[in-house]
Amino acid sequence: MRRPTIGVFDSGFGGLTVLKALLEILPAADYLYFGDTARLPYGSKSAETVARYAVEAARFLEDQGAQILVIACNTATALALERIVLAAHVPVIGVVEPGAEATALASANKKAVVVGTEATVASHAYYKALLSRGVTTHEKACPLLVPLVEEGWIEHPVTEQVARIYLGEAFSDGFEDADVLLLGCTHYPLLKPLFQKTAPAHVKIVDSAESTAHMVAAAFENYKSEPMTESLAERRGQPRFKFFATDSVEKFKKLGPRFLGHPIPDVQHVDLKE
């Protein structure tokens, strides 16, 4: 049975939380991760620019042998998924639809709160995806959380205070009884324990990174369902990785492990021509 090769694309480091979730479900796969670190953040760029960058990255990953593309960037998914799907020659999965689907299934009263970056919230991608599933949504941009995560302040009192303020505003204006909090940014899984601590006690937390990994796994159901016995693991070997970044590989090797959960020994620099 051939090992699948999964290409994961993000504007930077956050998509590594999607890769981490994929590894837990599909350990017998090969992974290509592309972080467009030279051109982040995508959130401040136009939809046209984001689409152009994302299509370039998708083509690069296809050229490297990706059999499926995972757009692990909320901004790129929200602003450019259709363009990527049209340009790609392999299946494409973004983070918005899986997160919305998991939220709709988890919500008893069909009311949810979505937290994300300003660009993702401004796109209303989650709002539309949830509305189509009968869920009313209060979206809340939390711009301070990404830099706090990248600073490594996961358990810092300042981060907890910021989260409490954001969630206090998010669960207001008629959404006090919303029963699901959807993490609409791939940096936020690192803050899941903090969100569990600061969100109202009745709230379930849905992680779009985790939901996306489950959707990708469904595309490779035979790999997911076959138990990883010792002999099978030996036959297939451990997951093989290739990491690509458009900016400093040293910075990627330093910051990346915070998101992936283990060291990243080798990163290849890529210069995508405009």
Structural domains for the chain:
5-94+211-269 (3.40.50.1860), 96-209 (3.40.50.1860)
pLDDT at 266: 94
- Is 73 marked active-site? yes
Torsion of CA 21, 24, 26, 29, to 10 degrees: 90
Of the candidates 78, 104, 185, 190, the residue annotated as catalytic is: 185
Burial of 175 (0-12, 13-18, 19+ CB in 10 A): middle
- Is 185 marked active-site? yes
For the segment 42-91, what is each residue's pLDDT rounded down to a tens digit? Answer: 887 888 999 999 999 999 999 999 999 999 999 999 999 999 999 999 99
For the segment 114-155, what is each residue's pLDDT rounded down to a tens digit? Answer: 999 988 999 999 999 999 999 999 999 999 999 999 999 999
pTM, rounded to two decimals: 0.91
| 37, amino acid identity | T
Of the candidates 26, 61, 70, 73, the residue annotated as catalytic is: 73
Q: What is the spatial distance between Cα 265 and Cα 243, in angstroms, rounded to a whole number?
A: 9
Assign 274 a pLDDT band (cuts: 50, 70, 90): low
Instruction: Quote the tokens at residue 168.
Output: 């206090």
R_g of the chain computed on alpha carbons: 18
Q: What is the spatial distance between Cα 142 and Cα 117, in angstroms, rounded to a whole number?
A: 6
Which of these, 222, 264, 270, 191, lies nearest to 29 by C-alpha position? 222
